[in-house]
Chains A and B, each alone.
Chain A
Amino acid sequence: MTAATHHLRSPRHRIRTGLIVLLLLIAGSAAVQEATALSVSEQPASGATAGENPAEQDSAGWHPAWRVLLLTDYNVRIVVLGTALLGTAAGMIGSFTLLRRRALMGDALAHSTLPGIVAAWMLVTSLGGDGRAMPVLLTGAAVSGLIGTASVLALRRLTPLKEDAALGIVLSVFFGAGVALLGITQQMARGSAAGLNAFIYGRAASMGRADAVLIGVAACLAIAVCVLLFKELRLLCFDDAFAAACGFSVLLLDSILMALVVLITIVGLQAVGLILMIALLVIPAAAARFWSQRLQPMFLTAGILGGISGFLGAVFSALFVRAPSGAMIVLVCTGLFGVSGLLGSARGLLPRLRKRQKLNRSVDRQHLLRALFELQETRSSEDTSADRSRTAVPIDTLLEARSWPLRRLLREIRRARNEELIEWLGDRVRLTRRGAVEAERLTRQHRLWELYLITHADVAPARVDRDADAIEHVLEPEIVADLERLLEREQTALPDSPHVLTGPAHSTSSSERADS
C-alpha cells in the first residue's frame, strides 16, 4: 500500500498542472489581445473593415513569410490566436464526443448550419438590413444546426433507422438545401452574397477582430465547462448506466456536451468552414489517444494538438492566399495525426512494433536457455553436483535441439553472452552461474505449464511441449503462483519433464519430427 499511496499524488498533481497550463493559455491569449488592441489603436479601421468586407481581404491577405510567422501583423495575429484557441477547445470537446461515439453528430450539425446561414442572410437583406452581419449569420447557423441535430435524434427515436442512416440523411438534405438557397441568392437583386461561400470552406483571412474575440471567448467558455465537468463527462462517456444509477442525469450531460459542440462549431464556421469542422472535432482527439492511456493526458494532448493545428493552419493560409484556412487546418491536423499514429507512446505503430520485437527476442532467449538447461539435464542426470547444468554444449547439438536457423541461434547466443547469461568455451557454449539460475526458473515455469495442460486440459504429452511454448512466455508471476497452487508443487522443486526430452542421450530425430 505504501508504494501505492505514494503514487496517488501523481494524478492529482497532473490535473493541477493541466489546469495551470490551461489558465496560462487563456490568460496569455487575453493579454495578447489586449496588447494588440492597444498597439493598433492608431489604425482602428483595420479590424472593423476586415469584419465587414471579407472580399477585400483576399488582396490584403498577402504578407511576407516572416511577418506572418512572427505574427507582427495585427490582423494575422488575432486570426491565428483565435483559430488556435478554437482548435484547443475543439480538441478537448472532441475527446469526449469521440469516446461517447458521438463524433459524427458534430458533422451533421455543421452541415445543417448552411441553410440557416443563407436563409438568415436572405431574410435580413430583404428586410433592408445588413445581411452579412456576423450575429445574423451565426444565429441562423445555430437555429438550423439545432434543427438538424433534433432531426437526427427524431429519426433515430421515431423510426427503425440506425444512427448512421439518420446522420447521412440529415447531413445531405440540409447541405443540399443550403446549396440550393445559395443558388437563389445569386439571382436576388439586393445585396451581395459573395461572402457566404466562406462558410463552406472557411476563410480565416475574412475574420476581423470582433470575430476573433468571439471565437476566443467561446473557446475559453467551452474549455472552462470541459474542465469543470471533466469528472462528470468522463463518467458519462465511460459508463452512462452507472452515471444514471448514481443520479447524474445522462440527458442533461449529453445536452451539455452537445451544446459545447454546437457552440464551437458555430463560432468555428468562419475559420474552418462547415465541411471541415468535423476534422477539428475528431482528428486531434483521435491522435491524442495514441499518446495516452488515460483521459486527462489525452484531453490535454488533444487540446494542444488542436491548438497547433489551428495555429499553423491559419499561418499557412495567410502565407498562401488562395488556400482556404479550413483545408490548411485539416492538413496540419492530419500531419499531426500521422506522426501520432506512428510515434504515439501509448499505442503508436512503432512503439508497438518495438514491443513485439522485444517479446520475440525474449521468447528466443527463453528457448535458448531452456534448451541448454535440458540438454545438460539429459546428458548428466547421474551427476548430482550443483554445477551439472553448466557443462558446455557444442553448437551442433543446440541446433538439433530446436528448429531454428544457425544465424538466429548465433545472434541470440551473442545477445545472451552480452548479458552474461552464457559463455563460450571454444566452439561450445555453457550457462554462466546467473544463466543457470535463470534457465532453471524458466524450465520450471515451462514444466508447470506442461503439467497443467496434461492434467487439466487433456493435452497429449507428446504435444504438450509445443503448446506450452506458445503460451508460457506470457505467464505472469501471479499465474505461475496459481499454477503452483493448482498442481500443489513446492515453491522450489523443479518437476521432471512430463515428456521425453529431446537431447543427445535419445534418438532426437524421431521425437522432434513427431512434435512438429
Chain B
Amino acid sequence: MTHDRSDPAPSRTSTADGHSGGTARSDDPRRSAAPSSGCPADIPLSVSDLTVAWDRKPVVWDVAFDVPPGTLTAIVGPNGAGKSTLLRSVMDLVPRVSGRVEIFGRPYRVCRDRVGYVPQRESIDWDFPVHALDVVTMGLYREIGWCRPIRRTHREQAMQALDRVGIADLAFRQISQLSGGQQQRTFLARALVQNADLYLMDEPFAAVDAATERAIVDVLRDMKQHGKTAVVIHHDLQTVPEYFDHVVLLNMRVVASGPVREVFTSDNLQKTYGGRLTLLEEVGEAMRRRERSL
C-alpha cells in the first residue's frame, strides 16, 4: 500500500486507528443485543475496525464505514480487494479477527430478518435439481421455520417476486436452463421475498445481459423509494455514478467512503486501483534487475 491512512475521505477509517485488538474483541456481538455506543439504530450497516484474515494473511484490514439509510451503496475495488469477504464477514459467514459489525445498531445474529442476501452467481452448483420457484422460496425458509411445510401462500409470494424481476414465466424451469441473467434475477427474487430492510448483493451485475441489468437497476431504485438500503459489490466503474449514491472504495482497506459526488474522484480511484499495479510493477522491475545481475 502506497497511501497512508490520512486520506481526506469522509470515512471513519482514522477513528479505528487507536483501537487495539482487545477493545475490538470486547464488542463481540454475542455479548449483548442492545445498541452499543455510537451506533444509532437507524444506521442500516455500520462496520468498524473490521479485520478478516485467511491463514494469517489479512484480506480485509481495519475497515470501517457506515451506510446511511435509504441509500444505494456500491463497494468498488480491484480483484482480491476483499469485497466479497467483507460482505460475507458482515453476515458472520467468515470468522473475523477483530472488529464490530452492526445492523440497525444490533449484531447480525439477532437482526437476520432485516437482511437480504444475494450471493455471487458462481458460488453454487446450477446443475442442482431445483427450479426457479424453488430457489426463490428458499428466501422464505427462515420465516416458515424448521420442519414446517411450504404452503401455497409462500409459493405465491415467491411467484410475485419472480414477477417483479420479470421472469415469472420461467418459474418452473430447472435453473441450469436459465441464462446467466435469468439466474441472477432468480437470486434477486429470492432476496426480495426476504422482505428485508438492508440488502447485501455480491456482484449482481457480473456477466448479465442488458435486460437483466435494467431489471436489477429498476428493482434497486424501487427499493430505495421504499426506504430500503442496498449495499452492492460492483465492478463497472462507469455505471457507479448512474446507479448508486454512496460508494465505498476498497482495497483491503477502505480508501474512501461517502457520497459518490464527493468520494468517487479519479484521485481516489487511482489510490484504489493504482496502488496495487504500481506495487506489482515495482516488484517486477526488481525481479528483472536481479535477473540481469545474475
* Residues of chain A at the chain B interface (Cβ within 8 Å): 1, 4-5, 7-9, 11-12, 15, 99, 228-229, 231-232, 234-235, 237-239, 241-242, 244-248, 289, 292-295, 298, 482
Contact = CB atoms under 8 A, between A and B. Distances in A.
B273 interface: no
B155 A8 contact: yes
B15 to A, nearest CB: 28
Interface string B130-143: 11011100100110
Contacts, number: 97
B54 interface: no
A385 B209 CA distance: 41
Nearest to A244: B93
Contacts of B152: 8-9, 12
B117 to A, nearest CB: 5
Contact of B147 (A228, A246, A295): A228
Interface stretch (B67-75, B166-174, B274-282): B166-174
B236 interface: no
Nearest to A238: B128
A239 B141 contact: no
Closest CB pairs A-B (n = 4): A293-B174, A246-B142, A245-B117, A8-B155
Given A237-B128, A238-B124, A246 B174 contact: no
B96 interface: no
B123 interface: yes
A378 to B, nearest CB: 35
Contacts of B109: 247
24 contacts: A1-B163, A4-B169, A5-B159, A7-B171, A8-B155, A8-B159, A12-B152, A15-B149, A228-B147, A237-B128, A238-B130, A238-B138, A239-B119, A239-B138, A241-B93, A241-B123, A242-B119, A244-B93, A245-B117, A246-B142, A293-B174, A294-B129, A295-B130, A298-B129
Nearest to B210: A482
B233 to A, nearest CB: 14
A242 B209 CA distance: 24
B117 A242 contact: yes
Contacts of A295: 128-130, 134
Given A231-B141, A239-B138, A289 B112 contact: no
A335 B11 CA distance: 65
Contacts of A246: 112, 141-142
A246 to B, nearest CB: 4
Given A1-B159, A99-B125, A294-B129, 18 more contacts: A1-B168, A7-B171, A8-B155, A8-B156, A8-B159, A12-B150, A15-B150, A237-B128, A239-B119, A239-B124, A241-B88, A241-B119, A242-B119, A245-B112, A246-B142, A294-B131, A294-B134, A482-B211
Contacts of A238: 124-125, 128, 130, 135, 138
Interface in B145-185: 146-152, 155-156, 159, 163, 168-169, 171-172, 174
A158 to B, nearest CB: 13
A502 to B, nearest CB: 33
Contact of B130 (A248, A289, A294): A294
Nearest to A288: B129
Interface in B222-240: none
Contacts of B144: 231
Nearest to B146: A232
Contacts of B138: 234-235, 238-239, 242
A248 B146 CA distance: 9
Contacts of A247: 109, 112, 142
A234 B144 CA distance: 14
Nearest to A478: B211
B192 to A, nearest CB: 14
A255 to B, nearest CB: 15
Contacts of B117: 242, 245
A99 B128 contact: yes
A483 to B, nearest CB: 12
A293 B150 contact: no
Contact of A248 (B91, B125, B142, B209): B142
A232 B141 contact: yes
A12 B156 CA distance: 12
Contacts of A1: 159, 163, 168
Contacts of A12: 150-152, 155
A340 to B, nearest CB: 14
A235 B88 CA distance: 18
A298 B155 CA distance: 20
A237 B124 CA distance: 10
Which of A99, A234, A241, A245 has most B Cβ within 10 Å?
A: A245
Nearest to B177: A293
B130 to A, nearest CB: 6
A293 B133 CA distance: 13
A8 B88 CA distance: 33
A289 B127 CA distance: 11
Contacts of B147: 228-229, 231-232
Q: Give the interface centre of A7, A238, A292 by most chain B CB atoms within 10 Å.
A: A238
A210 to B, nearest CB: 31
Contacts of A228: 147
A238 B138 CA distance: 10
B129 A289 contact: yes
A292 B150 CA distance: 20
Contacts of B134: 234, 294-295
A4 B133 CA distance: 11
Contacts of B63: none
Taking each of B112, B155, B209, which has the highest tally of chain A beta carbons within 10 Å of its own beta carbon? Answer: B155
B45 to A, nearest CB: 14
B216 interface: no
B115 interface: yes
Interface in B164-220: 168-169, 171-172, 174, 190, 209-211
